[in-house]
Amino acid sequence: MKVLILTHGTRGDVQPYAALALALKRAGHDAVLAAPAAMAGLATPHGIAFAPVHDGPNTLVDDPGLRQAIETNYRGLRGKKIALRVMRRTKPLMAAVFGDMADVVVDGAGQGADLVVHAPGVPGRHLAERLGVPAVLATLQPVWVPTAAFRNPMLPLPLPRALNRASYFPVRLMLRSFGGIVDDLRERLELPRRRGRHDILRRPDGGPATVLQGFSPHLLPGEPDYPAWVHTTGFWFLPAPPGWTPPAKLAAFLADGPAPVYVGFGSMAGTDPARVGRVVAQAVRLSGVRAVLASGWGGMRVENLPEGVFPLEQAPHDWLFPRMAAIVHHGGSGTTGAALAAGRPQVICPFVADQPFWAARAHAAGIAVPPQPQRRLTPDALAAAIRLAATDPRPAATAADLGSRVRAEDGTGRAVAILESLS
């Protein structure tokens, strides 16, 4: 097959789709990954065909409004006003992304695709309709397919169980806010304004679309009553690039003492990343552990590193995490899955969106200590959480056991088999 994979977002959003493209390539298929131009480094080392598109909302990473949104998690009236401002800034940027993706299909690397796999927020089903091929929705969070087992993780409000299914409607409605630019795109593609064109869970003929969920069912509460066309495959992990070796200074640091604790929040940052950096530095000092500190795209800024702390730009998680005593992170699905696959206990400090859900689920599964929300983060509380995760044998044993089961899921392998069944 030739499979076109369309996605967008930051590194954590794009990397699992690169893993799926690599699995398709290794299975003998042609895979093209269309993603933000800045993410080419995820594809090139693995020989994955890459179609760059506009970086879109990623260009707002330092925007004060976006940082406020992350800090507030859109809570209260102020949070809703911030959400509207961010959405107004985002729309023209997403229109540029959609236009570039259309170019990939009409006269670019996506021509001749037999199948389109797409993230929820991009126009994959419309581009597949133009090509006359099936579209497969691929999600990294359990927020798009309704279930009675639990409320939508994107909604931070407690709800009666009877409203669990209804709680998924507002998030799908959020996509409708891009309906205007989607209809403009369909006009460019010479597609009709048919009924149901904005429903990501439906094919053009009205039947259900195949859905791949790239996370582990082991972390979901209860037994979700997903229909047969929804497949929860396990996490999608991108391995270290061929021939990758750790920097000599990192290897020397790891060999020079007990296993350190990893601390990294990726691109997640509120309005004061320096405050987050100060809290982390003090917590590491108080906890008495060695640490590897990954500053990411601004999730924290640390000016005075304590002794026994190694500053890291980046390293493949599948190599780094198994060498850590514990993993402190923001709770994105990809990092949660990578820490779980490494079999290491976690301290999750969630910011926004689905991160509080993964933090709560990891704690409920016994692989993480109680969550430490960013808005309430203090040096003493974080230090206590780090000590507990790094020294208590119970979360370590549970994480090792569950990690072995997650690794056995072979999420990308299962996803490829499902895609092959559609050809």
Contact call for residues 292 and 261 (beta carbons, < 8 A)? yes
Convert the pLDDT of each residue in 72-119 to its tens digit. 656 666 666 766 777 778 889 999 999 999 999 999 999 999 999 999
Question: 353-376 burial string, b = 16+ CB within 10 Å, else e?
Answer: bbbbbbbbbbbebebbbebbebee
Q: What is the model's pLDDT at position 71? A: 61
Evaluate the CA torsion angle 306, 358, 15, 70 in order and state its sign: negative
Maximum CA extent, the chain? 64
3-state secondary structure 157-198: CCCCHHHCHHHHHHHHHHHHCCHHHHHHHHHHCCCCCCCCCC
Convert the pLDDT of each residue in 220-244 to its tens digit. 998 899 999 999 999 999 999 999 9
Q: Residue 397: which pLDDT band, with cuts at 50, 70 and 90?
A: very high
Given the structure tokens 């797409």, which residue do they identify? 118
Query: First vs last Cα of the chain: how many Å apart?
Result: 7
Convert the pLDDT of each residue in 155-172 to its tens digit. 877 889 999 999 999 888
Q: What is the model's pLDDT at position 155? A: 82
Q: What is the model's pLDDT at position 401? A: 97
Average pLDDT, the chain: 91
Q: What is the model's pLDDT at position 177? A: 82
Q: What is the model's pLDDT at position 296? A: 62
Contact call for residues 142 and 213 (beta carbons, < 8 A)? yes
Q: What is the model's pLDDT at position 144? A: 96
Q: What is the model's pLDDT at position 184? A: 95
Contact call for residues 330 and 348 (beta carbons, < 8 A)? yes
